[in-house]
Structure 1
Amino acid sequence: MIAEIDRIVDGHHHDPHSVLGLHGRDLRVLRPGALEVHAVLPDDTRVALPHRHRGVFAARLPRKVDDYRIAVRYEDGSAHLQADAYRYTPTLGELDLHLIGEGRHEELWRALGAHVIEREGDLGEVSGTRFAVWAPDARGVRVIGDFNYWSGIAHPMRSLGSSGVWELFLPEVGEGDLYKFQVLGADGHWRDKADPMARRTQMPPDTASVVTVSEHVWTDQEWMAQRKGTEPHRAPMSVYEVHLGSWRPGLSYTELAEQLVSYVCEMGFTHVELLPVAGHPFDGSWGYQVTSYYAPTPRFGSPDEFRHLVDSLHRAGIGVFLDWVPAHFPKDEWALARFDGTALYEHPDPRRGEHPDWGTLIFNYGRTEVRNFLVANALYWLEEFHIDGLRVDAVASMIYLDYSRGSGAWEPNMFGGRENLEAIDFLKELNTTVYRRNPAVAMIAEESTAYTGVTTPVDLGGLGFGLKWNMGWMHDSLEYVKKEPIHRKYHHNDITFSMVYAYSENYILPLSHDEVVHGKQSLFNKPPGDEWQRAATLRALLSFMWSHPGKQLLFMGGEIAQGEEWSHEQGVPWWLLRFDHHAGVQRLVKALNGLYRPRPALWSLDTDPAGFDWLDGGDHEGNTLSYLRRGEDDSVLVCAVNFSPVPRPGRRIGLPEEGRWSCVLNSDDPRFGGSGYQAPTSVVAEPQEWHGRPYSAEITLPPLGAVWFEPER
């Protein structure tokens, strides 16, 4: 028994419950530093427990009991009456452990981590926290926290067989208590680790996990019911991308629930997309280096306050997408890296397990438990926080073994190719599982290559995403508007090429945060010319974007023509709205959204070639484009864009219907900061064939402007 106690106190006993607690009538209690210890039986009998060895107190009770309490007095005079953590059976059942071992526990967050629960006994219910952590190669694991003065000697956990899970119920530990796991690695070193499944964390730079209980009562039932009947790729989707920390710096989740919701409603966006809110230690990573995958960052409040933000957006009719980062994680010693002394979450081969560009580690997608950790995490955000979709970051870095690696720095797959077959299988499993449980959400890939089948269903050989960012459209369009107008005729294909592949995937057109940092300049400062020309070009580009097949996404600040690059420290320069060029662009974006949602021609056939026809896509010399958008309700819109600073009056344009056509958008309108160049508010279709259409009319294309016409039916 002395050897067993030594192993427990030294921290490498796999089953301390087999020694500690009540065994028949023999009771052993581990209370390091105690002066005296008594057992208190159900009839209030007190039995002294003499010290036996290294903080273990033990005695044979006078009779067999099922419940008891421990009375402890310390040298400082403090005394405590406590339930004994080592009298309780495991709180995880065989099914939980089986599913964890198989990598199929879709609600992993309910099994692992810290959960406040009640345990029954003859002396009444005992409230405490059940701790469970996966560390299969650890020699021992302890719970440490503010409740034991960060010394885990008294609280070793037990290993639950071959599952690799360690578990312990600690009475009287509850909401708000800080904790970590003290892990004795396979290499013999102790590490203090934050809980990988923590649902709340300390404020950085502090790194402890926090026991938490959600009390939030959801009030978005109408939104959730309406969402069930929606197919995202056939619905309106105008997304406002937001970094919560710098939209209006200093706001909490609760304040954002008022101010951000009000602003997004006023501007008419259908969705917000939040840069990652999962716990991350470094502000400058913008959330893309995640250490706490199951905990919203505490920078803006509690997890329930984040729920309140989502709830408020939903009640206002606004969907919520979340950036999600399964591609890599940072090397911080207190987090996931070498969690149990081995490469547990990361791939052990640095050619597959380390990211050369970002200085981070790459998940081991071939390990079932790691895939389970990530798949369950996606479900956690979608189901516990009512998120409407996940934008999966850096998919290309996952699916290519040679991503950012030179010759000799990567290892081919078993077939000699460059594809990461394990990551591809993970993505298929992820999307299959998410859509099976939550069919109305949107899984969105940020995939920057021409990998085929990103939004093709898994059963048809694809990755199974619902939507994909159209990085080609973004790159080509921005490169085009950067050119001097006189040179644009030589690059006309840049602005039209996207229609060659527009229906190869289900696309979102992004003008995202990545395009306004690191020397790329703001959207406002990308085009050449004076302030008026730059603002006008931006208005034309946004009008083109809103009328192009595909959903649209605009990063905050773009809607006010922010001049400087985005700074996560400075935030959006709202003071610019005092100036006409900036306020005009904001009014245009509001108008675009106002026109967009009620017109199915702009969104219902985004993924169907029947929704778009060129009228004239080949006007290189004039820098103009014209095209039709159609809706599944037979609605139609004629759109024309002039990327030249020269007005184009008297332009004949083909029309598919007779009658009067109203101009519903003119981006050159003075209220948007435009020149107000004289243009008709309506035209009458003449029976003159043009652009392959039976009718036509002469319109005016304003300088660096866009116009939309629709029939007066």
Structure 2
Amino acid sequence: MEGTAAARPASAEPAKVSEPATSATPAPPAPRTPEARAAAHSTAQGAAAPSADVQKPAPKSPAPKSGTGKAPSAKAPAAKAAGTTARSGTAKSGAGKPPSTKAGPPKTPAADAGPAKTGGAKTGGPAKAGGAGPARSPRTRKATAAATGATGANRAVPKRRATSAPKVKVRPAPPLDATDRERLLAGAHHDPHGMLGAHLTDEGVVFRALRPHATSVTVVAGGLEAELISEGDGLFAAVAALREIPDYRLRVRYGTDEPLLVDDPYRMLPALGGFDLHLISEGRHEELWRVLGAHPMTHQGVTGTRFTVWAPNARGVRVTGDFTFWDGTACPMRSLGSSGVWELFLPGIGEGTVYKFDVCAADGTHTMRADPMARRTECPPNTASVVHTSRYEWHDADWLARRGSRPIHEAPFSVYEVHLGSWRPGLGFRELAEQLPAYVRDLGFTHVELLPVAEHPFGGSWGYQITGYYAPTARLGTPDDFKYLVDRLHQEGIGVLVDWVPAHFPKDDWALARFDGTPLYEHPDPRRAEHPDWGTLEFDYGRNEVRNFLVANATYWCEEFHVDGLRVDAVASMLYLDYSREDGEWSPNEFGGRDNPDAVAFLQEMNATVYRRCPGVVTIAEESTAWDGVTRPTDVPGQWGIGGLGFGLKWNMGWMHDSLVYMSKDPIHRRYHHNEMTFSMVYAYSENYVLPISHDEVVHGKGALVSKMPGDWWQQRANHRAYLGFMWSHPGKQLLFMGQEFAQGAEWSEAHGPDWWLLDPSYSAEPDHRGVRDLVRELNTVYGRTPSLWERDCDPSGFAWITADAADDNVLAFLRYSADGTPLLVVSNFSPVVRHDYRLGVPDGPTAWRPLLNTDDKQYGGSGLVEPCLLYTSDGA
């Protein structure tokens, strides 16, 4: 009778086994008239600060450190401000306005210069951002502007009407250079801050603003006003007879609507410091998500959002979104020198704002791009990014403290693989958190593995074609909702593994492909960029910034979402340049070989970084070849003199394939395929293995696991149970895809998920399916309580064959040993023949064996033969 039984000596006892709140201006409803639309445009684009008066600078506050790479410190010139040093890359979180910069009086006579100082702080105009680095970058390693919690989320900044004030004498400003003007209006200028904002000249202060659709723009500085003169195309400018640049705002009028008092983003210094830019350029910024993307913060005393994006080959980049009615003309970004990073701080923009980057390529064409570093996205099929600040408070400190207490190789590790979108169709992250942890805990699995949760446009890809590497899919909720799911799993004692896909990405023209008009994230050689199997693009692992994007992404999921491991997809396709390619379709490496040294270096760096920064986390490779040292440490050289890839575990694809071939055969023919079940032990200890029955094995015509078995329904279930028993007792960790735990007969489909109705008590065959699920529960229970099944998974001395050559009988028998030498005897009968008095030779020592589990037990739907695994020692005692 088919079955797997486990026994142990009767004398042996079983082993016991936050982020701050930020002010935000909600997007206004679409106005009905052009004038109203323009007014709303201005409202969303730049909300006013708390008062229209010129205020004194806030006291200095220390800035947090940013960037954890090991690159040397880079000091950049300091921006002088009213006799003090202004830290332009560090946000000050005070209530006052930033200190002004006094650039010296103009050469014109004082009588023509207008009023003297207007009181309060004096603010200098923004510096140009050309050359080798950002203009006026900070003289500090504390480079990243800090977010503050000055106001509540989604609270609109009030609009204010300015009171009448004395007019400052103005005259037309010198016209912009025709080329600069054309490039500025076309979104193709690298330094809009050099033309917009306020700039001190010999003639006075030149103010210039770009406000499309506005009818008037007035500079308001304390008790003074200076109305700017229209230059056409939305540009307003004038020279005010002032000797220094005041702390000012803009009063903007659209049509007949009330004027709006707003902060000018082009008077702001860069909100990203030189040290961060240095680390980005070197590809060593281990917290890249903290400096690139959209970050609500208070900068120079103004609440808003800092937008940054890496696009080194772009002619220009603009921010656009619902707050500009998707016209980015008024929001061009500045280039921060040779780093390739573009930056713009927009006052009044906060959490929930929908945005994209309008990227102008070298040929002048524009594309609207989602933010590669977006931490939240719109729900597909929409493709925009969303400004996000997390406010989640974790409750899993105990779990994090103990998860690394025992090496994963010497601990129980059984995994339930889940596709969240179809496990219970219609449930989001928070609803899943109320059901999934309890179900997994009841079945006794130690971990869940989630198919990719990062944002992806096509649901049929199951998440393996990612466009938003830093954002959990909006189909199921917000990033904080996903944190809640992970938290609840941890509180139930269940680890969380996430599928991670650094091997390839889709070609959607709003995402990563040719992001700045050139091959940026993908390899420039089409023979290396094009993935022949999936119609996707492969990353350029040799480029510092691309490697940094991926390494930081791995640590991001572990640190920000507390995941306990990453299962890395399609590793083999990364390692081999000729993967799925015919002769002439691939180019060799610099040594003439077929391996990809850049991918090897990337995987080594990723693993080393994750293990260093995230104790207790495990990385798992889906690697289907005989590559040497996949789970060997990166600092331990192998037969070719290079270190291992550094993974913690590797999927045993050979065991999975061979064992399923054997099980698919009729028992009468299995004698000719016996080696399929024994060959895995030839290489079982060459790597640290996971035995996977994954989603890939139950789709696309392969059939569900029980459907692969021969015979009628009773025989299929008997084979299914015997196979699960063999799997749980074989050296290595276990992984089982959802639906297989209760012998679902149909293939999995992401459209409807598991057939839960099979467990409905009103269904006549429900006991058959419930019996298999009960077996899985008992397998996990015995597994967790029996150190012989996991303590020496990666130690050859923890295994010994008893019978490996009984091919005619379809019988396998072997011993597993715990760290203290306690043996466990496993006997598998893969034939339908009941074998009475079947004799096996076992070691001397134990005089009797007691049964632990029998897969043919009646409670699991079996025949219930009496103690088929009550065995004796070889001397007949």
Q: Is the 8 A contact 1:531 1:581 kept in 2?
A: no
**Offset, 1:228:** 2.9
**SS of the residue 2:435 aligns to:** helix
Residue 828 of structure 2 corresponds to 641
**Offset, 1:47:** 2.1
**Offset, 1:18:** 1.1
Cα offsets for 1:415-445 (capped at 9, x unmatched): 2211111111111111111112123211110
Cα offsets for 1:293-344 (capped at 9, x unmatched): 0000011100000000001101110000000000000000100011000000
2:375 aligned residue (199, 209, 221): 199
The separation in 2 between residues aligned to 1:349 and 1:482, in whole angstroms, is 43
Which range moved further: 671-680 or 209-218?
671-680
**Offset, 1:661:** 2.1
**SS of the residue 1:376 aligns to:** helix
More helix by proportion, 1 or 2? 1
Residue 107 of structure 2 corresponds to none
Cα offsets for 1:566-589 (capped at 9, x unmatched): 000011001112422211110100
Q: Is the 8 A contact 2:851 2:867 kept in 1?
A: no
Residue 278 of structure 2 corresponds to 98
Q: Does 1:665 align with 2:853?
A: yes
Residue 424 of structure 1 corresponds to 600
**Offset, 1:19:** 1.3
- Say if 1:643 and 1:682 are closer, same or farther in 2 by CA, change over 3 A: closer
Q: Is the 8 A contact 1:15 1:158 kept in 2?
A: yes
Cα offsets for 1:149-169 (capped at 9, x unmatched): 110110000000000000000
Cα offsets for 1:498-548 (capped at 9, x unmatched): 000000000000000000011111101001101111111011111011011
Residue 477 of structure 1 corresponds to 659
1:129 aligned residue (282, 294, 305): 305
**Offset, 1:232:** 1.2
The separation in 2 between residues aligned to 1:322 and 1:66, in whole angstroms, is 52
Q: Does 1:632 align with 2:807?
A: no
Q: Is the 8 A contact 1:6 1:54 kept in 2?
A: no
Q: Is the 8 A contact 2:854 2:868 kept in 1?
A: no
Q: Is the 8 A contact 1:138 1:186 kept in 2?
A: yes
2:779 aligned residue (592, 595, 598): 592
How do 1:565-584 residues align onto structure 2 when only pairs under 5 Å count?
A: 565-578=747-760, 579-584=766-771
The separation in 2 between residues aligned to 1:160 and 1:74, in whole angstroms, is 32
Q: Does 1:534 align with 2:724?
A: no
The separation in 2 between residues aligned to 1:188 and 1:35, in whole angstroms, is 29
**SS of the residue 2:635 aligns to:** helix
Q: Does 1:467 align with 2:649?
A: yes
RMSD (Å) for aligned C-alpha atoms: 1.3
**Offset, 1:597:** 1.0
Residue 51 of structure 1 corresponds to 230
Higher relative contact order (CA 8 A, sep 6+): 2
Q: Does 1:502 align with 2:681?
A: no
Cα offsets for 1:35-84 (capped at 9, x unmatched): 0111121x243321121343221233454344221111112525321111
**SS of the residue 1:649 aligns to:** coil
Residue 710 of structure 1 corresponds to none
The separation in 1 between residues aligned to 2:321 and 2:508, in whole angstroms, is 19
Q: Does 1:524 align with 2:700?
A: no
Residue 864 of structure 2 corresponds to 676
Cα offsets for 1:563-617 (capped at 9, x unmatched): 1110000110011124222111101000000111121111111100111111111
One-letter code aligned to 1:237: F
The separation in 2 between residues aligned to 1:115 and 1:357, in whole angstroms, is 37
Gaps of 5+ in 2: 1-175, 637-642, 761-765
1:171 aligned residue (347, 363, 377): 347
The separation in 1 between residues aligned to 2:783 and 2:822, in whole angstroms, is 13
**Offset, 1:681:** 7.4
Q: Is the 8 A contact 1:2 1:53 kept in 2?
A: no
The separation in 2 between residues aligned to 1:615 and 1:228, in whole angstroms, is 35
Residue 610 of structure 1 corresponds to 797
Gaps of 5+ in 1: 690-695, 698-713
Q: Does 1:73 align with 2:261?
A: no
The separation in 1 between residues aligned to 2:870 and 2:531, in whole angstroms, is 57
Q: Does 1:210 align with 2:389?
A: no
TM-score (norm 1): 0.94
Q: Is the 8 A contact 1:5 1:56 kept in 2?
A: no
**Offset, 1:678:** 2.5
The separation in 2 between residues aligned to 1:681 and 1:448, in whole angstroms, is 35
Q: Does 1:9 align with 2:188?
A: no
Residue 502 of structure 2 corresponds to 326
One-letter code aligned to 1:663: P
Q: Is the 8 A contact 1:72 1:80 kept in 2?
A: yes
Residue 139 of structure 1 corresponds to 315
1:20 aligned residue (192, 196, 201): 196
The separation in 1 between residues aligned to 2:792 and 2:263, in whole angstroms, is 64
**Offset, 1:476:** 0.4
**Offset, 1:624:** 0.6
Structure number with larger C-alpha Rg:
2
**SS of the residue 1:345 aligns to:** coil
The separation in 2 between residues aligned to 1:78 and 1:617, in whole angstroms, is 88
Q: Is the 8 A contact 1:39 1:71 kept in 2?
A: yes
Residue 350 of structure 1 corresponds to 526
The separation in 2 between residues aligned to 1:220 and 1:659, in whole angstroms, is 46
**SS of the residue 2:777 aligns to:** helix
**Offset, 1:174:** 0.7
Q: Is the 8 A contact 1:135 1:340 kept in 2?
A: yes
Residue 30 of structure 1 corresponds to 210
Cα offsets for 1:218-253 (capped at 9, x unmatched): 110000000132311111100000000111111110
1:39 aligned residue (207, 219, 225): 219
The separation in 2 between residues aligned to 1:48 and 1:632, in whole angstroms, is 83
The separation in 2 between residues aligned to 1:474 and 1:681, in whole angstroms, is 26
Which range moved further: 575-584 or 250-259?
575-584
Q: Does 1:366 align with 2:537?
A: no
Q: Is the 8 A contact 1:509 1:550 kept in 2?
A: yes
The separation in 2 between residues aligned to 1:681 and 1:257, in whole angstroms, is 40
Q: Does 1:381 align with 2:560?
A: no
Cα offsets for 1:367-414 (capped at 9, x unmatched): 111101000100100110011110000000111111111111111112
Q: Is the 8 A contact 2:827 2:869 kept in 1?
A: no
**SS of the residue 2:619 aligns to:** strand
The separation in 2 between residues aligned to 1:253 and 1:564, in whole angstroms, is 26
**SS of the residue 2:707 aligns to:** coil
2:266 aligned residue (69, 86, 94): 86
The separation in 1 between residues aligned to 2:485 and 2:628, in whole angstroms, is 36
Residue 110 of structure 2 corresponds to none
The separation in 2 between residues aligned to 1:464 and 1:78, in whole angstroms, is 63
The separation in 1 between residues aligned to 2:847 and 2:245, in whole angstroms, is 92
**SS of the residue 2:782 aligns to:** helix
The separation in 2 between residues aligned to 1:91 and 1:548, in whole angstroms, is 56
**Offset, 1:654:** 3.3
Residue 511 of structure 1 corresponds to 693
One-letter code aligned to 1:90: P
2:439 aligned residue (251, 263, 270): 263
More strand by proportion, 1 or 2? 1
The separation in 1 between residues aligned to 2:460 and 2:511, in whole angstroms, is 18
The separation in 1 between residues aligned to 2:298 and 2:461, in whole angstroms, is 39
TM-score (norm 2): 0.77
One-letter code aligned to 1:299: R
